[in-house]
Chain A
Amino acid sequence: MTLEDARRVLGARVLVGENCLDQEVGTVCGSDMMSDVLAFSKDHSILLTGLCNPQVIRTAEMLDIICIIFVRGKRPDDKTLEMARDTGLVIMETGHRMFSACGMLYEAGLRGGAI
């Protein structure tokens, strides 16, 4: 599945990285706790989160996560989006809640990856 496929499943809007949606995605991690994301996430993943601060971008950068999708209609500030641009991340937002967004991507074939 590509990021564009995931975008379509969630009806998400791209905030950063419009031209990078052809990347293949392996797994998804959904959490508002970056500590857990650091402990359990895989590389080349999508991160679903409702947390909007610069450390979400830093966490994704350290883990080689390729895309962050902000759920519940959350949208980070311009400074955080600028950080994402600098690190080459794709950023999207969706109005779906975490549980629904995870379920929709799972139904579309994406998995969380074994610990």
Chain B
Amino acid sequence: MADIITLRYTVSPDDFTRAGEASSDVKNKLKQLGIAPPVIRKVSIALYEGEINMVIHAKGGEITVEVSPESIRMVLADVGPGIPDISLAMKEGYSTAPDEIRSLGFGAGMGLSNMKKYTDYMDIQTELGIGTTITMIVNVT
């Protein structure tokens, strides 16, 4: 494997049927690179939760995934409304998703806490009206 492999994706806004395409592609590429299945599973779940959030709350955005021999670093950047209260948003069960999204099976308020649970590092930078950037790292070794 080269030292660092970078994957970039644009997440389409308001297209719920396509949400998860980036996560699916990352999962397939990590399999091809021979990354251990438990690591792939953690990356897949965390990234998919983040991708779904970008579609539901932020009208899409950009995902960058850097794969190195030591870790997988995911950066999800959007220009959405921002998160007013991060500690409240991290609370299991808290959600601002509309009923329409709940009827599609999401918006149970598990997304951010699940992303933290499945990663070794997570950082949220957010500014109201400007956007949110979430960085997550899953250690490979």
- Which residue numbers of A lie inside 8 Å of B, CB to CB? 32-36, 38-39, 43, 49, 51, 53-56, 58-59, 61-64, 87
Contacts and interface: CB of A to CB of B under 8 A. Distances in A.
Contacts of A61: 20, 24, 27, 44
Interface centre among B48, B109, B114 (most CB of A within 10 A): B48
Contacts of A49: 105
Given A33-B105, A62-B44, A63-B41, A38 B110 contact: yes
B111 to A, nearest CB: 7
Interface of B: 16-17, 19-20, 23-24, 27, 37, 41, 44-45, 48-49, 52, 102, 104-111, 113-114, 117
Nearest to A33: B108
Given A35-B111, A38-B114, A64-B37, A53 B104 contact: yes
A32 B20 CA distance: 18
11 contacts: A32-B105, A33-B106, A33-B108, A38-B49, A39-B110, A53-B16, A55-B106, A62-B41, A63-B41, A63-B45, A64-B37
B138 to A, nearest CB: 14
Interface centre among A35, A36, A53 (most CB of B within 10 A): A35
Interface of A is mostly: helix
A55 B104 contact: yes
Contact of B20 (A39, A55, A64): A55
Contacts of B27: 61-62
A55 B45 contact: no
Interface centre among A38, A39, A61 (most CB of B within 10 A): A38
A55 B105 contact: yes
A43 B45 CA distance: 12
A64 B41 contact: yes
